[in-house]
Structure 1
Amino acid sequence: MTAEPEPYAVGDPETALKYAIQHIRGDRVQIVEGVIDPVAPSWDHEFVASSIREQIAGALRELGCVAGSGNLDLPGSSNWYVPDLAVVPHALAKGAGALLPEQTLLVVEVTSESNGETDRIAKRRRYAEYRAPLYLLVDRQERTCTLFAEPGPLGYTEVRGPHPFGSPVRLPGPFDVELDTGGF
């Protein structure tokens, strides 16, 4: 008589889930409050992220940073985010699989019809909790930009905006850049 295989035992479901989504072929996915969410931005969405990247390019060079949409882990929670844009120091980005929000200088999320509430509420709360120093929310449905700063366990304590598209949005130090939002 052959022995029955032992059932797969997961000692840490958070680790197992985050490991699994990193090994999905083809698609990028994130986990938002325990829900697996495919990341498939439209070209219009990508245009906004690209425009911001271009506008902060000089600051990126001066700061020795890179901007991209790499993975952000939120340990101790069922969250694994793929932001539309995050700015991180070159030294941290090189060879990194995932970083923590507190290791970023700026996180940008651009809303879509399907994820607007997630970006406005859940991600804003979690980015503050995990100490992302600056969170820029580009809300394409409301046609506004809001910059959140001074993170804490209860949320961001400084809110600049919402600024209607077409109004400049000032990114504070270390960027000291005024974003032109007219083309968003």
Structure 2
Amino acid sequence: MTTAHDHPEGIEAERALKYAVQRVPGGRAEVVEGVIGHLSYDWDHERARDALRAQLSEAVDRLDCIAGSGDLDLPGSLNWYVPDLAVVPGRVARGAGALVPGQTLLVAEVSSATSAKADRVVKRRRYAEYGAPLYLLVDRMERSVTLFAEPGSLGYTKADGPHPFGTAVRLPEPFGIDLDTGGL
């Protein structure tokens, strides 16, 4: 893996880019492979994210976690993600700024026409590389849900799906719940 730290000027470029993305006027932004993108969602995207959050709420409370879309830093790369939903242990999130994917229990992305390729390929690879134990891809373009597990440096080694919307998808422990994907 080539990182920003492999090049002397890369460390400063990474730091400057991540500093800038946190100060984008008019809203939130993320950096995907060195490209800053402004985050803007349509109502169907918001509905899908809210439906997912509602289904996770009981497990989030039981696990003393926080579910939200806080910043995720991928140190050593030109990436700074704002996932659609991440579940993070409360003790880790309290007082924290940006976290790294390995500090989450689950990261979920809800694809849109502009984010589908990054969500399907780039983020899936990067979330695995940075240790996110579970990556849930709600692909609105394909009308499917895929759960990726067992992260490694070459990606996730286990994929459950893609399942068409309407199929129950099991989230393993510590969640231990079936997601109803019909409302996504």
Question: TM-score interval w.r.t. the shorter chain?
Answer: over 0.9
Question: How many residues matched?
Answer: 176
Q: Which SS does the other structure have where 1:41 is aligned?
A: coil
Alignment-derived partner of residue 4 in structure 2:
none
Alignment-derived partner of residue 157 in structure 1:
157
- Aligned counterparts, 1:17-166, within 5 A: 17-166=17-166
Alpha-carbon separation, structure 1, partners of 2:150 and 2:135: 10
1:13 CA drift (Å): 1.1
Q: Which SS does the other structure have where 2:112 is aligned?
A: coil
Structure 1 consecutive aligned stretches of length 4 or more whose deviation exceeds 3 Å: none
1:26 CA drift (Å): 2.0
Alignment-derived partner of residue 174 in structure 1:
174
Q: Which SS does the other structure have where 1:56 is aligned?
A: helix
Alpha-carbon separation, structure 2, partners of 1:46 and 1:173: 26
Q: Which SS does the other structure have where 1:36 is aligned?
A: strand
1:24 CA drift (Å): 1.8
Q: Which SS does the other structure have where 2:182 is aligned?
A: coil
Taking a change above 3 Å as real, the CA distance of residues 182 and 10 of structure 1, as seen in their structure-2 partners, is: closer
* Larger Rg, first or second structure (1 or 2): 1
Gaps of 5+ in 2: 1-8
Q: Determine if contact 1:74/1:100 at 8 Å carries over to the other structure.
A: yes
- Percent identity, please: 61
1:81 CA drift (Å): 0.2
Write the letter of the residue equivalent to 1:92.
V
Which structure has more helix as a fraction of its residues? 2
1:55 CA drift (Å): 0.6
1:11 CA drift (Å): 6.4
Q: Determine if contact 2:11/2:76 at 8 Å carries over to the other structure.
A: no
Q: Determine if contact 1:10/1:16 at 8 Å carries over to the other structure.
A: no
Alpha-carbon separation, structure 2, partners of 1:121 and 1:86: 18
1:28 CA drift (Å): 0.5
Deviations, residues 63-110 of structure 1 (Å, cap 9, x unaligned): 000100000000000000000000001122122110000000000000
Alignment-derived partner of residue 3 in structure 1:
none
